Amino acid sequence: MATGSPSSSSSSNYDVFLSFRGEDTRLGFTGHLYKALHDKGIRTFIDDAELQRGEEITPALMKAIQDSRVAITVLSEDYASSSFCLDELATILDQRKRLMVIPVFYKVDPSDVRNQRGSYEDALAKLEGKFQHDPEKLQKWKMALKQVANLSGYHFKEGDGYEFEFIEKIVEQVSGVISLGPLHVADYPVGLESRVLHVRSLLDAGSDDGVHMIGIHGMGGIGKSTLARAVYNELIIAEKFDGLCFLANVRENSDKHGLERLQEKLLLEILGEKNISLTSKEQGIPIIESRLTGKKILLILDDVDKREQLQAIAGRPGWFGPGSKIIITTRDKQLLTSHEVYKKYELKELDEKDALQLLTWEAFKKEKACPTYVEVLHRVVTYASGLPLVLKVIGSHLVGKSIQEWESAIKQYKRIPKKEILDILRVSFDALEEEEKKVFLDIACCFKGWRLKEVEHILRDGYDDCMKHHIGVLVGKSLIKVSGWDDVVNMHDLIQDMGKRIDQESSEDPGKRRRLWLTKDIIEVLEGNSGSREIEMICLDLSLSEKEATIEWEGDAFKKMKNLKILIIRNGKFSKGPNYFPESLRLLEWHRYPSNCLPSNFPPKELAICKLPQSCITSFGFHGSRKKFRNLKVLKFNKCEFLTEIHDVSDLPNLEELSFDGCGNLITVHHSIGFLSKLKILNATGCRKLTTFPPLNLTSLETLQLSSCSSLENFPEILGEMKNLTSLKLFDLGLKELPVSFQNLVGLKTLSLGDCGILLLPSNIVMMPKLDILWAKSCEGLQWVKSEEREEKVGSIVCSNVYHFSVNGCNLYDDFFSTGFVQLDHVKTLSLRDNNFTFLPESIKELQFLRKLDVSGCLHLQEIRGVPPNLKEFTAGECISLSSSSLSMLLNQELHEAGETMFQFPGATIPEWFNHQSREPSISFWFRNEFPDNVLCLLLARVEYTYKCISKLTVFINGKRHKIASGWEDWMTTEVRKAKLNTYLFDLKSSFRLGDLSEVGLEKEWNHVEITYAGLIETSLVKATGIHVFRQDDIRYDDPYGKRKLEHDLNSFESQPLIKNPSRLFCRLSRWVGPERIINLLGNAADGALLTNAERRYSHISMDSFCQRCRLEEETCLHALRDCRKVAAFWRSVLPKKLAPKFFKGDVTVWLETNLSFSEAAFFWPTFFGIAVELLWEYRNHLKFFQRAFRHGVYSIDPSKSMDIVFKRYKDYMRAHASHNLMTRNLLKWNQSPWLLRLNVSGAYDPSSGTAACGGIFRDKDDDRFVLGFSVKLEECWSIDEAEIWGIYHGMKIARKYDIWGLYRDILRQNNIRISLGIARQHDFGKIRVESGSKKAIEFVLDGCPTATSTRQHCFPLSQELKALTSATNHSYFFYTGHNGAADSFAKFGLSMRQQAASIFSACPSFCQNFILKERYMLHVT
C-alpha cells in the first residue's frame, strides 16, 4: 500500500507489468497482448516505444514493477541478448513474494531457457565477454532464467494455432487473479501501511495455529472501518480462507433489523445459505457454531457497540476453524475486554506529517502543495486534531480555493471550540446551496441507509428534477456515499450527527422544526398536539426495545401540520388511529397503522407512496365516499391480517406497484386490478384463503407473485399479450391446471413450479415463443397432458426453444414419454429425478443437443433404450433396478472416447477395455511430452453419506496439486437412502481445473500423474479405482524411474561448495550418540540429499522454492536448518556463549562438523544439536505437507517448548540405551530453570513532543510473581524501537545494581520455597529471559548496531555497554514476544515523569495491577 498515493481498492497502481524485448515482439505479439488486456479494463504498464533504455533499471521502472500485481515476461528468441531485459527479469523475480509472475515462452522452448541452450546460450556467451568484470551479475541472470523457466506459464509454438486464442487464455488467467474482490479502502490511504502491518502481526497473519481475534478501537471518525477494510484486502491476497464476510454497521443494523438478520447474512456469505430464516438470535447461535466449526474464515465485525452482538455472531473462538481471523471495530474498549478479546489495537489520530499529507491530497489532488499554502495547511491540521474524516471533508471543501478563502475558513474554525470537533464539519455544510442543504439534512435525519432509488423517488417531488445533481454535489463534498450493489446512501456517524444538530438548531420548539426524527420530540408533538405548518417530515423509527411502548394521543395532531409531506412511522404503537391527514402528504408509511381505513376527510391528491404493513386496515378507501388517487404509484398492504377484500382500484390509474403479500385472510380481489395499464409489480404471495384471481390484462407487468396462495385453484386468465413478464414462480399453490390463455405470456422465459399438487400441464407449453427454462419440483400430481392443438399443427410448428427441462419428484410414469416428449428438440439439460417411470425411451437418442441427463432416485428405472449422441454428464444415483444390459450400455467404450464425460450409476464392474486398475484409494500413470487429451478415470465406492460430497478427489502432476472443477462436487453430491456400490466415470481433464496442460509436462521426461481418493469420508469405502488413456503412445503405468530416486540437477550440484575433509565429518557421525534416524538425517544434510523446496524445484517436483516459514528466501538446506530468521531465533536462545560467534558461519559440512565436535561449554551439546536439527526438520515438514501449524510452533518456534521436546527425546533414548555414559543430569543443566526470571520491557514515544520513556517489570517465569518494576524518562530518542533498547539496557543495569536474584530468593522464601546451593547451581538460578515487543530491539542486542555509517552514531556506545552487561549478568535469553500490557504501563508512566532518573517499584503499582491479574488469568486458562 503506497502511503499517500491515490488508491481505490488495492495497493497497486497497475494490474500488470509487461516485460519483453521490444525489437522482437512490440509490434506483434506483445502489442496484441497489451490491447487485449487493455480492452478487458486491466491496467497494464508497457514501456514507451521511444524510451531510450540505459544499462540499469530506472527508479520509474522499478516503481512500475513494485506497483503491479502481476508481471508477464514474454521470453522471445532474442530476449537474453538484452542485458536490460535480463536485469528487468531479475528485478521482477526479486519481487515474487508479492508479485505473481507469468512467463510466456513465445516461439522458444522453455528447456532452452532453463538450460541456456540455443539462442540463449549464444546471447549469454556474448554478454560474458562484455561483463567479464562482473561475474556476479552474469550468475544472477542465469539463475533468473532458470527460475522463470521453472514457473508455470504459457508456451506458444509455431503452428500451434491462432495467437488471439492463445492471448485469450493469458488474459483469462490474469482477469481471475486480479478479481479477488478487494473492498474500497480510501481514495488516499495515508498512514495505513504501518497500521495494517501492526494489525497483521497481532493476527499472526499466515498462521493456521488457532483462531485469532483482535479488536480495533478508537473514537468515531478515526478510520477504524478503513483500517479493517485495508487489512481485509491484504489478508484475502496473502491467505486462503474457506469463507469471507464483512459485516458493516453492526450497531445500526442490529438496532434496525435485529441480530437474526446479521446471523443470516454471516451464514449466507460463508456458506451460501439463502434459505435460512432465523426467528431469534438464540436460534442462530448453535447454527453458526455447528456449521462454521472447522472452517477457516475471515470475519470483520464493523462498528460493534454491545456485547450481545459479539455473543450472537462470534461468541467464542471455538466456533471457527484453525487459522480464522476475526476483526472487531468498536468505539468501546471495555466491550472488547468483557468479551475476552485481549489482542487490541488502539487507533490513534494521524500524526502531523500524515495529517498534512492527507489534507494535501484531498485539497490539491497531489502529493505536495504550493509552498505559499504550507502555513495555512498546518493551521488546518492543528484544528482537525488528526481526525481523518474531518481532514477529508475540509480538504474537499477547500479544493481550488485561494489562500484568502483558506484564511477566511480558518478564522471561522477558530471561533468553534476545539472540543466540539463535529462543528468543524459545519463549514462544509455552509458551503452548500440552499436546496443542497435541505437534501443533505433530509438524508441525515431520515434516509441514511435507504436505497438511492427510493430516496430520489421520495424527494423528487420536493426538488423537481434536480435530485441527481444535489446527490452528486453531496457525494463530491464527501458528505454522503453511495455504495453497494443496491446503491445504498450512507454517511459517517459524525457527519450524520452534525446534520442532526444543525436541524435541531432551527428551533428550540420541536413543533416548529421542518423535520422531526428524534423519538422524544415526535412523541411530545403528537401527544401534546403542538405541531405547526413548519413541519414537513416526520420519521419515527423506534428501536426494538422501544417499539412496545404505546403513544397516547387524541389523533388530531396532524391538523396543524398543513405542509406535512413525508410521514414514516415504524415499530410504533398508538392508542388510536389518526382523524386527519393533510392534503400535502406525499409519502405515507405507517407500520401497524391502528385504523381500519384512512380518514374520510383526507384529500389524497398529492399522495404518491402508501405503505401500511401489519396494519388494521380492512379496505383502502373512505367512509361513504370515493376519491381519486391520481398520483399514487406505490400501494402496499403487506401482512394485514384484517384485510379481507381488495376493492375497486380503478381510481388508481398511475399505480405501478401493488402488494398485499402475507394477507392471510384475504378472500376477494376486485376485477379492476387486472386493468391497471401502468402496473409493473403485483405481489399476492401468501394469501392462503384466496380461491380465485381476476383475469389480467396488464401490458406493463414485469413481476407477478402468487406463491403460497394454497387455496388458489385456477391461474388467472390472461386476456391479452403480456410481453414484459419474463419470469414466473408458482410455489405452494392449489392449481388444477393452467388456462389456454397462459400462452398469452409471450415474454415468459422461465417458469418454475413447486408443491403445486394436482396440476394438468399441457405438453405444448414448451412451445411458448421465448420459454427457455421449465422447472418443476415436488408437484406429485403433475400430469403431462397431450395437446390436441399440438397434434393438429405438428407439421407446421417450429421446434421448442426450451434448453433446460426439469421435473423432479413429480410422480411421472411411463406415459410421460408418449406425451409430447420429442418436442424438446433443443433441450441441453434434462432432469427427471425421483420419478416412477421404468424405462428411458429409444426416442431420447433424437435429442441431439442433450448434454446433461439426471435420473437419480428413479428406483423403478430398469431399461435405458438409447443414449443421446452428445451426452456428457449422466447421473443415475440410486437407480437400483437398472438391468445389466443398461449398465453395459453406459460402460460402452465408444461413448467415452470423445472425452468430457462424467457418469455416475449403480454397480461395481470395471470394463475389460480399461488399461489400469487398482484396489488402493489412489492410482497413477506416467506420460511423456504432452499431457494426453482424454484420460478416463473410474471409481467404485460404497456410499453411506446422505448430504454432502461423497469424496474429495485430488490430482497431483509432478507433485503440484490441481483443484477440482467448479460444479463437479455437485455432481458427486447424492442423497442416498441405502448404501450401494456406485460407479463413477469421469474425464480427468474436464473434471479438474487443469487449464492449458501443454506446459505441465517436462519435455522428453516422464511426468507423474497421481489421482487420489484418500479424502473419501470415513463412511465411504473405495472398492476399486481405474484409469484408461485413449492415446497409448508415451504412456506408462509402471514407474519408469524404479524407486523414483531423485537426482540432483547438474547446475545446482555445481553451485554447491565442495565438501571439506568429509571423512572427518562422517567419522564424527559414526561416533555420535543418538538415534540412528538422526545420524541418517545429518548424513543426508551433509550430502545435500534433504528434499528442501529448492531441491524439489530443481527436481521438477514443485514450482515453489521459497521457505514456507518466512516466504522471503529460497529454502536451501542451511536456510531450513539454520539461517531462516525464525529458526535462527531458536538457535540464539539455546547457544552456548563460546559457540555463538561461529555458529552461523560456514557451509553445511563445516557447520555440522563444528557442532558435532563442540565440547567446551557442555559435552552434551552434540546430542542436543542433533535432536534439535531433527525437530526443526519435523516442524518444516508439518508446515510443508500438512499446511498447518505444528502444535509446538512452526511459524514462530517457541524455544522453551522446543527444548522440552528435545530433553524428553534425549531422556527417552538414554533410558532405552543405559550403557551410554552420558548422564541426564548434564543435559538438565542446559534446561531453562523452573525459576527463570522474566524481564518484560517496553518503550513509549510521543512524536508530537519528541519525548520518550521506557519501563519494565521483573517476574518469575511460571507463577508470574512480581519482583521489581521500573520507569525511566529518556532524553533524545529517535523511535519507539530505540526506547525499547534503552528499556533492555536499564533493566539489565538495574538487575545488577539491586541484586535482582537476592530479591527473588527472598520472595521465594516468603512463599516457603527454599533453594539450596546445589539446586541453584544445577539450574543456573537467576537466569533472565528478556522479552521485548520490538524485533529491532532484540536484533540490536544480539547483533549490535547494524552499520558504522549510521547517522545515529550515539547507538554505538549503547551497543557496547549492552554487550558488557549481558556478558556479566549470568545467562540471558532475548525474545520478541509482542507488546506486553504490564511493561507498557511502566513505559507510559515514564512519559508522565518530570525527572530522568529511574523510578523503582518494589511492589506492584496500581496502574499495573489489572495487567498482572489478566495475565495470571490467561496463564491459568492456558
Contact 697, 717 (CB under 8 A): no
Q: Active-site residues: which are they? A: 88
773-816: pLDDT as tens digits: 999 888 877 877 776 544 444 444 457 889 999 999 888 888 88
Instruction: Say which residue, 173 or 300, is predicted with more confidence.
Output: 300
On the question of pLDDT at 508 being above 90, the answer is: no
Give per-residue burial for 303-330: e unless 16+ CB within 10 Å, then b.
bbebeebbebbbeeeebbbbbbbbbbbb
- In 3D space, the residue among 1091, 1240, 1057 whose CA is nearest the CA of residue 1177 turns out to be 1091
For residue 820, the SS3 value is coil
393-426: pLDDT as tens digits: 788 878 888 888 878 777 766 555 444 556 656 7
pLDDT at 1003: 60
pLDDT at 26: 85
Chain-centroid distance of CA 211 in Å reads: 15
- In 3D space, the residue among 1384, 1375, 1280, 1293 whose CA is nearest the CA of residue 1331 turns out to be 1375
Cα separation, 572 vs 577, in Å, equals 12
For residue 861, what are the contacts with CB-CB under 8 A and spacing of at least 6? Answer: 837, 838, 839, 840, 855, 876, 879, 881, 882
Model confidence at 1269, in pLDDT bands (50, 70, 90)?
very high
Tell me if the domain spanning 421-505 has CATH number 3.40.50.300: no
In Å, how far are 613, 731, 753 from 707, measured between CA atoms?
19, 5, 9
Model confidence at 716, in pLDDT bands (50, 70, 90)?
very high
On the question of pLDDT at 1232 being above 50, the answer is: no
| The CATH fold of domain 185-346 | Rossmann fold (3.40.50)
Phi, psi of 762 (to 5 degrees): -65, 140
Contact 1259, 1329 (CB under 8 A): no
Helices 403-414 and 374-384 pack at an angle, to 10 degrees, of: 30
Contact 734, 690 (CB under 8 A): no
Contact 251, 305 (CB under 8 A): yes
Q: By mean pLDDT, which of 286-300, 1235-1249, 1307-1321 is the weakest? A: 1307-1321
Output DSSP code: residue 26.
T
- In 3D space, the residue among 847, 795, 792 whose CA is nearest the CA of residue 824 turns out to be 847
Output DSSP code: residue 109.
-
Pairing state of beta strands 703-705 and 681-683? parallel
Query: Which position has the grid cell 466491550?
Result: 335
Cα separation, 578 vs 601, in Å, equals 11
On the question of pLDDT at 1192 being above 50, the answer is: no
Contact 475, 393 (CB under 8 A): no
Q: Which three cell numbers stand for residue 568?
A: 414514516
- Whole-model pTM? 0.53
Q: For the sheet containing 1328-1332, what is the strand order?
A: 1372-1376, 1328-1332, 1237-1246, 1251-1260, 1266-1274, 1399-1401
Contact 651, 629 (CB under 8 A): yes
pLDDT at 949: 38
Output DSSP code: residue 821.
G
**Ramachandran category for residue 527: left, alpha or beta (phi over 0 → left; psi -120 to 50 → alpha):** alpha
Question: What is the identity of the amino acid at 30?
Answer: T
Cα separation, 798 vs 547, in Å, equals 60
Cα separation, 11 vs 235, in Å, equals 13
Contact 971, 852 (CB under 8 A): no
Cα separation, 938 vs 930, in Å, equals 22
User: 378-385: long-range contacts (C-beta < 8 A, 24 or more apart)?
Assistant: 378/352, 379/410, 380/406, 380/409, 380/410, 380/413, 381/352, 381/355, 381/356, 383/410, 383/413, 383/414, 383/418, 383/424, 384/355, 384/359, 384/424, 385/349, 385/418, 385/421
pLDDT at 1225: 38
Contact 534, 563 (CB under 8 A): yes
Indicate the CATH number for domain 1237-1403: 3.30.420.10
Query: Which position has the grid cell 540405551?
Result: 1217
On the question of pLDDT at 351 being above 80, the answer is: yes
Cα separation, 1225 vs 1202, in Å, equals 18
Q: Which three cell numbers stand for residue 1353?
A: 552514531
pLDDT at 1045: 36
Q: How many CB atoms lie within 10 A of CB 889?
A: 16
Contact 478, 207 (CB under 8 A): no
- In 3D space, the residue among 565, 580, 667 whose CA is nearest the CA of residue 622 turns out to be 580
On the question of pLDDT at 1322 being above 80, the answer is: no
pLDDT at 679: 94
Q: Average pLDDT for residues 1306-1313, to the nearest whole number? A: 70
**Helices (H), ranges, 1187-1279:** 1199-1216, 1224-1228
Q: Average pLDDT for residues 1148-1170, to the nearest whole number? A: 77
- In 3D space, the residue among 1099, 1071, 811, 747 whose CA is nearest the CA of residue 958 turns out to be 1099
For residue 485, what are the contacts with CB-CB under 8 A and spacing of at least 6? Answer: none
Contact 898, 868 (CB under 8 A): no
C-alpha torsion sign, points 1374, 1376, 1382, 1384: positive
pLDDT at 1222: 42
- In 3D space, the residue among 1153, 1101, 1094 whose CA is nearest the CA of residue 1119 turns out to be 1094
Cα separation, 231 vs 226, in Å, equals 9
Cα dihedral 624, 625, 626, 627, rounded to 10, equals -140
Cα separation, 1143 vs 1127, in Å, equals 13
Q: Which three cell numbers stand for residue 1309?
A: 522464601
What is the three-state SS of 189-218? CCCHHHHHHHHHHHCCCCCCCCCEEEEEEC
Give per-residue burial for 77-109: e unless 16+ CB within 10 Å, then b.
bbbbbbbbbbbbbbbbbebbeebbbbbbbbebb
Q: How many CB atoms lie within 10 A of CB 430?
A: 12
1065-1075: pLDDT as tens digits: 767 776 777 77
Domain boundaries 14-178, CATH class:
alpha beta
Question: What is the identity of the amino acid at 646?
Answer: I
Output DSSP code: residue 904.
E
pLDDT at 495: 77
- In 3D space, the residue among 858, 784, 860, 856 whose CA is nearest the CA of residue 824 turns out to be 784
Instruction: Say which residue, 1039 or 489, is predicted with more confidence.
Output: 489
On the question of pLDDT at 828 being above 60, the answer is: yes
1336-1361: pLDDT as tens digits: 787 777 666 654 333 344 455 566 66
Contact 1093, 1112 (CB under 8 A): no
On the question of pLDDT at 1129 being above 70, the answer is: yes
Question: What is the identity of the amino acid at 1352?
Answer: R
pLDDT at 1355: 56
For residue 1341, what are the contacts with CB-CB under 8 A and spacing of at least 6? Answer: 1285, 1288, 1330, 1362, 1366, 1374
Cα separation, 1380 vs 1256, in Å, equals 10
Query: Which position has the grid cell 515453489?
Result: 1104
